[in-house]
Every structure is written in structure tokens, then in C-alpha cells.
Amino acid sequence: MAEINVENLKVVYRGVILALQGVSMRAGTGEAIALLGPNGAGKSTLVRAMAGLLPQYDGRVLDGKIVINGQEANHLPALKVAELGLTAILEGRPIFRYLTVTENLRAAAHKLSPQRQKEITDEIFTRFPRIYERRFEQGGYLSGGEQQMLLLGMALLTEPKILVVDEPSLGLSPKLTEEVMRVLDELRRDKGLTLVLVEQNARAAFSIVERVYVMEQGRVVFEGTAQEAQADADVMEFYLGGAVAGGFSEAKRYRRRKRWV
Amino acid sequence: MDFSLVVQTILNGLANGALYAVIASGFVLVYRATSVVNFAIAEFMLIGAYLTYTMSLFFPLLVALLLALPLAFAFGVLVERGFVRPLLGRNVVAVIMATIGLAATLDGTALILWGPDQKAMGAADISQLPKEMPNLAFNMGGVFLSSKAVWSLILALPLAILLVTLLKYSRYGILLRAVSESETAALAMGINAPRVVAVAWGISAMMAAIGGAFLAGAAGGGGPGHHLVLLGLIVFPVAILGGFDSVPGAVVAGLLIGLIEAFSQLYLESFLPGITQAIPFLIVLLVLLFRPYGLFGQHRIERV
């Protein structure tokens, strides 16, 4: 079992800033979902909450529930969440920049036996030959795409059941974004992972997920399959039309569809 | 120039420098792991030296030193858990003031527990002869080295090099360097960052205990007293010369400052009395002016 359920989650930062205002979402075992939304929608807050990392950002769960593999995880610290099989790749490509590629991988593999570590590291080097070529270089000197690949490799070494990836395409060229999405999809299928993909690049996300949640201002404003999302005029106008300046709430039909808010 | 005198000065300088290296590498380790400048490092030395002294009342000196190490480690972990952890993430000035407060508290505690008088290792009374480690003093070809210097060279120097090696190559060393870069990213990868940080404080206290015990005269007679707090100030020039965030840098800088002090003592002290104490701090001024990253300080990696 590798599923995550979020029910009516409210998160507050510094006791006053309400970043999530009752978000509900779920990802079933082996499913891939995308969380879409503009800057400030609360996507990264949701990732932090799922990973148990809110205290690191001076945030806390005010109300609601996060259930990971049947176990309530609202107030679990990050280490306990990791033990439940959830690994989060946070936004901004948080590799260890002063560690070499190999050291980054060793750091992520801290719980594995040397034998298992070697097996998975070999697999990572086979999947990402470029990472193998640069294995003795400091992580900070890798390109954005290489750093993203390294992060995926590090995540694999934690043997996750649920993988949450925050904005993997940020700052990458379209070609590299496509490559990252292909790898994510491949990993999910090979490993049977449950994937929660947080993205602003909707077109990239649609290619590999089954269901989509659109968030805005701390709320989920759209929920449906990837096909439904692509067929929805508002979603498409907001994400792919590029003509709406004021955010999702300004999309043509948004105000008429009260059920969203 | 008397060749044997130069060799003797070099060896003595390295022996003293090894002690500076041990203490400063622990200090830098804590700075790397938690970004806390531990202004209580001299008191860590003091407590370590007193712990060695207490153990030496019951055991031979070498055994006492070895027994004091786990106690010092536990002390370091305790300080981290009870004092440092709640302060992490606070304003840097607040943390600095807090560690200065910690220094005063530890100073007072040592005063209450062990009294104001200087102790003699292994002797309940200062009038008794202090216990000593096995005498390793030697005189060869005109080169004389005291037992204290030999012990320092065979114990402290390898220990400092061992710490550098472990930090570079061991799994725990890699975890420590990872946590020092980003605790949040480490936690996201399931690394037990709080435990790693606590271990860093424990190791730092252990290193300070070794340095403190030796500087207090563990290997060559004598014993701990509050003068150690002043000796502890040497950590800051060593750390700054080394680059402040580099453990290998701290080791090299410790040895360098030890050597410079030894040669200053030999050649400068006669016509500039007191210069030896001032030289490490003059070096700090020059380093800060001309090479703020020190010898081995990390340059920030920024992709452009």
C-alpha cells in the first residue's frame, strides 16, 4: 500500500499566515497525480505538510488530516514520515552543493546496507550516464538538469513508496523538462511508485499523470482526470492560453462555477 | 643557526599546534553543523580538563583521559539538546549572546564544582605531586623534546588527522557535511539531522577535552585551573586562519600557529617581550584584511 489522503487541511505560518485553507486531495497506490497552480497557491506548503517539514518553515497544521498508508501523519516529524515511505524532493533542487555526486548519493543511502546501496547506485548510474560521468564533481557545479537527475537518484536510494516532487521543471529548457518527465514516468512505472507531481508547467505534467488538482490561494479549485483538465476551457486558458493576467479567478467562466470554491 | 635547535623548535611548535588543531577542529565542526560560533569553547576545554582531573583521582592519567572522553561527549550532547537546539534559527546575535552566557554559566559551574584553586592532576591536594603519563621525553642529537610534547604529537595530532579523514570519507562524516549544508534537505532524505548535529557537539566537546587536558598539563605535570579560559582564546585565530568553516583548514592553521609561536619564542621574544601571545591575533588581522576566506574557507558555489 502506498497511498496518501489529505482531508480539509489548513496550514498556518508563523501563527498568522493561512497558507492552506482546507485542501483535500488523494493519490492511490501506484497513481500519478499533479498539483497545478500559480505562485503562492499553496502547492509547496502542501508538499512540506505531507513531508512533515512544516516546523522547518515555522508552519503548522491548524486543522484537517494527512493520512499516509492508513496512518495519520498530521503531526509526525519528517523522519517518521520518511519511515512511512514518503520521500519529498523539495523545490529549488536541494542537493548538497559542496558534496560530490557520489557523496550526495551516499548521504541519501544512509539507511541501506552496502550491498543494497551498490545495487541501487549502479542502477542510477545506468539510468543517468551523465551523473556517472560527473560522479566526482561537486553537486553545485552540475547543470540544472543534472541536479534534477541526481535528486531523483538520491530519492531512489531512500527506497520510497510515495514520491513527491516539487517543481522539477523549474529553470529547465523544454527539452530537459521533457527528459525529466520521461524519467519520472519511467521510474514510477518500474518501481510502482505513487507520484505526486507539483508543477506550474501544466503541459509537461499532463503527459505523465492520471489526475490533476488545480490550486489557487490555498484552495483546490479544480479536480479531475488529466483528460478532463485538458478539456476544461478554464484550466487550458489559464495554463496554456497565457492571456489571463489576474490568475485563475479571472478566467472567463470561473466566477460562474461556484462549485469550485 | 643551530640546526638541532631549529628541529627542536619545529617539533615543539607542531606539538603545541596539534593541541590548537584538535580544539579548533572541534570548534569548526560545530560551526559547520549548526552555524553556531561557540564562544564557550574555552569553557568546554575547562570542563574537559576538570573531568580528566576528577577521573585522574581514581585512575592512572592516561586511563583518566580516556574515561573523560565519553563524559565530555555526553556533556557536549547535553549542551546541544538543552541549550543550542532551542536557539537554532534565531537571530545570529541572539545565538552569539547566548553562547557567551553559556560560557559564563559553565565558568561559574566549574568554579562551584571544582573551586577556584589550580589543581594538580591526580592529586587531591595541590601540595601533592601530580600524576604524570609515562615519561616519553627524549634527547637525540641535541634535540630535546619534553614528554608533554611527545604525547601531544602521538595523541593529539593523529586524532586531529583522524577527524579530518572521518569527516571526508566516513558515512557519518558525509551525513554531517550534508546536514551542515541544509538540515531541511537532509530531513527530506530521511537523515536524522538532530542526531547528527548532537554528535557533532559531542565530538567537539571531546576534542576540547583532549586539548584542555593537555594544555592543563595532563602529560607533563600540572593541572586545570581557570587560566585555561584565556588559553582557549587561541581557537579564534586558528579557526579564522583556517577559513572558519574548514576542519582541515583548522588543523593546518593550528599547526602553523603553533610553529609561528615557537619560532617567535625563539627569535623575537628576547627583544619584543610578549610578542608571542600577540602574534596569532596579528595574523588574524592580516587574514581578515587580505584573505577573508582564510587558508581553506569555502567559496560559495553559485551557478550563473
In this predicted structure, the answer to whether residue B259 has a pLDDT above a threshold of 90 is yes
Beta carbons of B189 and A108 less than 8 Å apart? yes
**Exposure string for B111-142, b = 16+ CB within 10 A, e = fewer:** eeebeeebbbbbbeeeeeebbbbeeeeeeeee
CATH number assigned to the domain comprising residue B75: 1.10.3470
Domain presence at residue B55: yes
Beta carbons of B190 and A158 less than 8 Å apart? yes
Distance CA B176, CA B159 (A): 18
A107 in B contact zone (CB under 8 Å) = yes
Distance CA B1, CA B111 (A): 46
At the top level of CATH, which class does the domain A4-93+161-260 belong to?
alpha beta
A253: exposed, middle or buried (C-beta count within 10 Å: 0-12, 13-18, 19+)? exposed
Distance CA A228, CA A211 (A): 9
Instruction: Please check whether residue A32 is in contact with residue A209, taking contact to mean a CB–CB distance below 8 angstroms.
Output: yes
Domain presence at residue B302: no
A247: exposed, middle or buried (C-beta count within 10 Å: 0-12, 13-18, 19+)? middle
A103 in B contact zone (CB under 8 Å) = yes
Minimal CA separation from B169 to chain A, in Å: 9
A151 in B contact zone (CB under 8 Å) = no
Instruction: Please check whether residue B146 is in contact with residue B82, taking contact to mean a CB–CB distance below 8 angstroms.
Output: no
Domain presence at residue B296: no
Beta carbons of B178 and A83 less than 8 Å apart? no
Distance CA A31, CA A193 (A): 7
pLDDT digits (tens, 9 = 90+) for B95-146: 888 899 999 999 999 999 988 888 888 777 777 777 777 888 888 888 888 8
Q: Chain B residues contacting A, CB < 8 Å?
A: 171, 174-175, 177-178, 181-192, 298, 301-303
Neighboring chain A residues of B175 at a CB cutoff of 8 Å = 107, 110
Domain presence at residue B303: no
Interface test with A, best of B90, B189, B199, B302 (most A CBs within 10 A): B189
Beta carbons of A96 and B183 less than 8 Å apart? no
Domain presence at residue B301: no
Distance CA B274, CA B285 (A): 17
pLDDT digits (tens, 9 = 90+) for B7-60: 999 999 999 999 999 999 999 999 988 888 999 999 999 999 999 999 988 988
pLDDT digits (tens, 9 = 90+) for A161-215: 999 999 988 888 888 888 889 989 998 998 889 999 998 888 888 889 999 999 9
The Cβ-side half-sphere exposure at B225, using a 13 Å CA radius, reads 11
Neighboring chain B residues of A163 at a CB cutoff of 8 Å = none
Question: Of A168 and B75, which is predicted with more confidence?
Answer: B75
Minimal CA separation from A147 to chain B, in Å: 12
Domain presence at residue B76: yes
* Minimum Cα–Cα distance from B192: chain A residue: A79
The grid cell for B150 is 611527545
Total count of domains within chain B: 1
Cβ contacts from A onto B, under 8 A: 79
Residue in A208, A211, A221, A182 with CA at minimum distance from that of residue A4: A211
Type and span of the H or E element at A46: helix A43-51
Q: Name the band, by pLDDT with cuts 50, 70 and 90, for residue B174.
A: very high
ipTM here: 0.86
Polymer length of chain B: 304
pLDDT digits (tens, 9 = 90+) for A134-165: 999 999 999 888 999 999 999 999 999 999 99
Domain presence at residue B87: yes
Interface test with B, best of A89, A110, A137 (most B CBs within 10 A): A110
* Minimum Cα–Cα distance from B174: chain A residue: A107
Beta carbons of A110 and B191 less than 8 Å apart? yes
Interface test with A, best of B182, B187, B192 (most A CBs within 10 A): B187
Domain presence at residue B48: yes
Beta carbons of B171 and A106 less than 8 Å apart? yes
Structural domain containing residue B212: 3-290
Minimal CA separation from B243 to chain A, in Å: 15
Instruction: Please check whether residue B221 is in contact with residue B130, taking contact to mean a CB–CB distance below 8 angstroms.
Output: yes
Q: Which of B171, B184, B191 sits opposite A56 (nearest CB)?
A: B184
Q: Which of A79, A82, A97 sits opposite B181 (nearest CB)?
A: A97
B254: exposed, middle or buried (C-beta count within 10 Å: 0-12, 13-18, 19+)? buried
pTM to 2 decimal places: 0.84
